[in-house]
A and B are shown apart, each in its own frame.
Chain A
Amino acid sequence: MRKCRYEDKIDEYLLNRMEPKEQTDFEEHYFICRSCFGKMSERNEIVQVLKKEGVLSTPEAGKAEGERLRSWPEQAFGFLTPLRLAVAGVSVAAVLLAAWLLIPRGGAVSPPLVLSGDGTVRGGAVAVLSPVAEVAEVPAFLEWKAVGEDIEYKVSLTGKSPLMSASTKETRIDLPDEIKSKMKPGQTYYWQVQAFRADGALVAESGRVKFRIVPKD
Chain B
Amino acid sequence: MEADKNGVPLDEAILGYRPVISFRVRKALGSATPDWEDVVDEILTQAIEKVKTGAFRGESSVGTFLYTITTRRIIDHIRQKTKVLRHAPEPATLPDPHDETENRERARQIAQVVNSLKPKFREVLYLYYYKEFTRDEVARELGISPRRVSERVNYAIKLIKKSVKA
Contacts and interface: CB of A to CB of B under 8 A. Distances in A.
B101 A113 contact: yes
B122 A56 contact: yes
Nearest to A121: B98
Contacts of B20: 30-31, 37
Nearest to A64: B123
B125 interface: yes
A168 B3 CA distance: 47
Interface residues of B, number: 51
- B interface secondary structure, majority: helix
Given A48-B107, A50-B114, A31 B97 contact: no
A139 to B, nearest CB: 17
B10 interface: no
B7 interface: no
Interface residues of A, number: 52
A31 B63 contact: yes
A45 interface: yes
Contact of B97 (A11, A42, A49, A112): A112
Given A55-B114, A65-B141, A207-B97, A49 B67 contact: no
Interface of B: 17, 19-20, 23-24, 37-38, 41, 45, 48-49, 52, 61, 63-64, 66-67, 70-71, 91, 94-98, 101-102, 106-107, 110-111, 114-115, 119, 122-130, 132, 134, 141-142, 153, 157, 160-161
10 closest residue pairs by CB, A with B: A64-B123, A113-B98, A32-B63, A61-B126, A31-B63, A31-B67, A50-B129, A49-B110, A56-B126, A207-B97
